[in-house]
Structure 1
Amino acid sequence: MASAESQPDFSTISDIFLAHGSLQSPAFLDGYLCARLALDDVDAENWLLQVCASLGVEEPATREDGEMLLAWRKRTRERLDAQEMSFEPLLPDELFTLAERAQSLALWCQGFHEVVSETDSDRRDNWSAQLREGVEDIERLSRIDTELEEDGDNEDDLLALTEHARMTALLLYIEEHPGRPDVEQPPEGTAQQLPDSHDSDGRGPH
C-alpha cells in the first residue's frame, strides 16, 4: 500500500503492481503514458482505467493506491511541461542490477513505441529530422540486449541510452505542444546518438 509520504517513483509503483498481483514492470506503461501525453493526452479517469486493465483489476485496491497512480500521471505531465525540462522516465535506480535496468529501459521504449507507431505519416512529416531519428532509435532500443555484465562501460552506455530516450520524449512533447514548455527546442545533437557499441540490429551494450 502506498503511504502518504511516498512519491510515484519506480519502486513505489512497482509495489502497487505487486499488491495487485502483477509482476509486470511499470516501465512499459510509463513509456506508453509519456507518448500519449505528448500526442493525444490521456485524462486522469482514462489513465486509471488503463492501469487497472493492465493489472487485471476493475479498480485500485485502496484509495491511496488510486491516488498514487493518478499522481504518476500528474507528475509526468508536469515534468514534460516544465521549463527546466525535468522529465525523467520511470525507471529503476542504481540499486537494481544493470540487467534489470536495461530490461526496464527496453520495456519503456516498447510502451513509447506502441503509441508513436500508430501516428499517421502526415503528422510525422511535420516532425523535425532530429525527432524522427530519435523515434527510430526508440524502436531500436526496445530490442536491446539486456543481458549485461556489471562493468563501467556498460553502465556508461546504459546511462547514455536512457538520456537519449528521455530527450526524445521531451522533444516529442515540445514539438507537439509549441510554446509548452516555454523553452527553446533542444539544439541539434542534444538527443544523443546511439553509442558506437550498438550495431544495426539494436543490440545493447557489450
Structure 2
Amino acid sequence: MSLIDERQDFSDVADIFLLHGSMQSPAFLDGRLCALLALRDVSADAWLDEVCQSLGVEQPRDQASAERLLGWRRQTVEALSASDLDYSPLLPDELFSLGEQAQGLKEWTLGFIEVIDEVADNELRERWSQALREAIEDLDALGRIDTDIDDSPENENDLFALTEHARMAAMLLYTEQHPGMPQVEQTDAPVH
C-alpha cells in the first residue's frame, strides 16, 4: 500500500507539519480545504501551494511529504463526494484532551468560515437553503467557543454534538454546491 492509499488522520498530517518545522495544527487548514473544495474545487497544485505557504516553505521537503499532503486533499474530496456521507473534519482524536479537541474544532471552524467569507458573495449565499444559512451562522458562533474545558462526560458529549454539527454543515455546503454529488437519493447503487 502506498502512502497515497492510506487513510490519514490528524496526527499523520501534524507529523508532516512538524517535519517542516511547524507546530501549527492542521485543523485550520482542513477547514479551509473543506470549504475550498465545496466552493472552488481547489486543484492539487493550488492546495500544495497553500499548505507550503502556511508552513513557511517553498515546497514539501520530500516526495513522501508531498504525497501525504496531496493524499489529505484527495481523501477529503472522496469523503465529501461519497454517497455514504462519511466526511469527518481532520481533528485531534481521543489521544488528545477534550480542551485540545475543542481547540481543534474551533480552528477547523475558523478556517472553514474564513474561506466562506473570502469566496461566498451575497448572491451565492442567497441561493443557499435556509438550513445551510443557519448552519453557517451556527459555525460562526462555534468559532468563538471557550476551549478551556475539563475532561468530563458532559463536555465530551457536547463536543461530539458540536463536531457533528460542523461535519453536517460541511457536507451540506458541499452537496448544495455540487448537486447530484453525492448521489444520496440513489439506493440501487452497486456496493463496492
Q: Same fold (TM over 0.5)?
A: yes
Identity %: 56
- Determine the C-alpha separation between the residues in 1 that align with 2:152 and 2:35: 31
Task: Please list the CA deviations of residues 25-82 of structure 1 after superposition, one character each: whole Å capped at 9, or x if unmatched.
Answer: 0000000000000011100001000000000001111110100000000010011000
- Determine the C-alpha separation between the residues in 2 that align with 1:171 and 1:7: 23
Contact 2:44–2:70 (8 Å) recurs in 1: yes
- For the structure 1 residues 10 and 133, does the alpha-carbon distance in structure 2 shift closer, same or farther, using more than 3 Å as the test? same
- Determine the C-alpha separation between the residues in 1 that align with 2:113 and 2:86: 21
Unaligned runs of 5+ in 1: 185-206
- For the structure 1 residues 135 and 5, does the alpha-carbon distance in structure 2 shift closer, same or farther, using more than 3 Å as the test? closer
Contact 1:8–1:69 (8 Å) recurs in 2: no
Q: CA-atom RMSD, angstroms?
A: 1.4
* Offset at residue 183 of structure 1 (A): 1.2
Stretch moving more, 167-176 or 4-13: 4-13
- For the structure 1 residues 177 and 47, does the alpha-carbon distance in structure 2 shift closer, same or farther, using more than 3 Å as the test? same
Task: Please list the CA deviations of residues 141-172 of structure 1 after superposition, one character each: whole Å capped at 9, or x if unmatched.
Answer: 11100000110000000000000000000000
Which structure has greater helix proportion? 2
Partner of 1:127: 128
Matched AA of 2:159: L
SS of 1:117's equivalent in the other structure is helix
* Offset at residue 95 of structure 1 (A): 0.9
Partner of 1:83: 83
Matched AA of 1:101: Q
- For the structure 1 residues 3 and 171, does the alpha-carbon distance in structure 2 shift closer, same or farther, using more than 3 Å as the test? closer
Partner of 2:160: 159
Partner of 1:8: 8
- Determine the C-alpha separation between the residues in 2 that align with 1:127 and 1:45: 29
Partner of 1:38: 38
SS of 2:106's equivalent in the other structure is helix
Partner of 2:24: 24
* Offset at residue 3 of structure 1 (A): 6.1
* Offset at residue 105 of structure 1 (A): 0.2
Matched AA of 1:94: E
Partner of 2:190: none
Equivalence map 1:1-206=2 (5 Å): 7-118=7-118, 119-184=120-185
Contact 1:6–1:12 (8 Å) recurs in 2: no
Unaligned runs of 5+ in 2: 186-192
SS of 1:58's equivalent in the other structure is coil
- Determine the C-alpha separation between the residues in 1 that align with 2:136 and 2:44: 26
- Determine the C-alpha separation between the residues in 1 that align with 2:146 and 2:72: 28
* Offset at residue 7 of structure 1 (A): 3.4
SS of 1:125's equivalent in the other structure is helix
* Offset at residue 6 of structure 1 (A): 5.2
- Determine the C-alpha separation between the residues in 1 that align with 2:125 and 2:71: 30
- Determine the C-alpha separation between the residues in 2 that align with 1:114 and 1:131: 16
